[in-house]
Copies of this chain bind each other. A is one copy, B any other.
Amino acid sequence: MKHFLSVEQLTEQDMFELFQLAKRCREEITPFKKQLFAANLFFEPSTRTKMSFTVAERKLGLEILDFNPETSSVKKGETLYDTVRTLEAIGADLAIIRHHDDDWMETLTDHISIPIINAGAGKKEHPTQSMLDLFTIYEEFQTFKDLNMTIIGDIKHSRVAHSNAKALEKLGANVHLCAAPNFKDHSLNYPYIDIDQAIKQSDVIMLLRIQHERHQHLSETSDYLKTFGLTRDRENMMKDGAIILHPAPVNRGVEIADSIVECERSRIFKQMENGVYMRMAIIKKLLQKWGIE
C-alpha cells in the first residue's frame, strides 16, 4: 500500500486491521512525534470529507496545508501533477486529494514521492467513504457474513456504490441493488430488486444521494420519495435491528423522509463520527508503510 487509492487494493485482512486501528484511534490518540505536514487538496466542494480529514489530521498532530484551487496557481493553468509535486517540494509529507477526474491518480502515483490518499475521484472512487461505511456496519454486527445489504438510489452516478458493493461481497455479505430505471448501472453484476423487497429483506440499507449538482433536471422529487425513497411507512417495515446508512449530504424529502434522518435506525451521523477515526487509521497505517510513526 504505497498510496491509498481504492478499496479494491485492500485484502480482507487489511480491512479488518483498519477496523481495529480505527477503534483504537477512538479510544486513545497517539499523535506523531515529528512535525509533519498534510496537504489537503479539494478540487470539489466538500464539508464532511474535508472537515473529517482536518479533525483526523489535527488529532494526529499533523500540520495542515489547506490548498484552495480557487486562490492557487491552478488558476494560472498549473496541472495537478505540478501542484502536488510543488507541495511535496515545499515539505508536504502526505497529500489528501479530491478531484473531479475519474482517473487523476494515474498521473501522480509514479512520480510523486509522498503518500497519497484518494478523498474522491470523479464518480468512480471514494475509498475512505467506503471504509467508514464498512466500519459502521462492522461496529453494528461484528461480521459481514450473510448480512443482506441493499444499495438504493443513484447507483449510476455514485462513487461509493461500486466500491462498496465489491468490498461487501468480498467480506461475505449478500449485495442487492435498487434504483429508479434511469439510475441503474448494468455494468455492476448484482441483482436489482424493488424498494419494498429491499425494505423487507435488508439488514443494512445503504441510501445514496440524488446528486442534483451532477444532473440538474430531476423533476418532481416528492414523487421520487414516494416511489423510490425511504418513507416513514417503509422504515416501519424494516427488520428488527436493521440500520440505515447514507453518505450525506442528505436531500431531506427526496431519497429519505425528513423525519427518518435522525431516527433510531439511522447511522447517518454515526458514519460521520466513525469517518474521523477511520481516516486517522488510514493515515496511520499508510504513513507506517512509509516508515513514519
The answer to whether A37 touches B65, judged by C-beta atoms less than 8 angstroms apart, is no
Closest residue on chain B to residue A52 by CB atoms: B90
The answer to whether B45 touches A76, judged by C-beta atoms less than 8 angstroms apart, is yes
A45 to B71, CA, bound (A): 4
A91 within 8 A of B: yes
How many A residues have CB within 8 A of the partner chain?
Answer: 55
A19 within 8 A of B: no
A91 to B87, CA, bound (A): 28
Given A74-B47, A78-B47, also A275-B35 (CB < 8 A): no
A82 to B88, CA, bound (A): 35
Question: How many copies of this kind of chain does the complex include?
Answer: 3
The answer to whether B71 touches A276, judged by C-beta atoms less than 8 angstroms apart, is no
Across-interface contacts of A47 in B (CB, < 8 A): 67, 72-74, 78, 83, 86-87
**Closest Cβ–Cβ distance, residue A258 to chain B (whole Å):** 10
The answer to whether B276 touches A82, judged by C-beta atoms less than 8 angstroms apart, is no
Across-interface contacts of A272 in B (CB, < 8 A): 86, 89-90
Closest residue on chain B to residue A75 by CB atoms: B45
A46 to B68, CA, bound (A): 10
Residue from the set A35, A45, A269, A275 with the largest chain B CB neighbour count within 10 Å: A45
Given A71-B68, A76-B213, also A51-B82 (CB < 8 A): no
The list of the 9 closest CB pairs from A to B, nearest first, reads: A89-B272, A47-B73, A89-B269, A78-B249, A47-B72, A45-B75, A73-B249, A55-B91, A89-B273
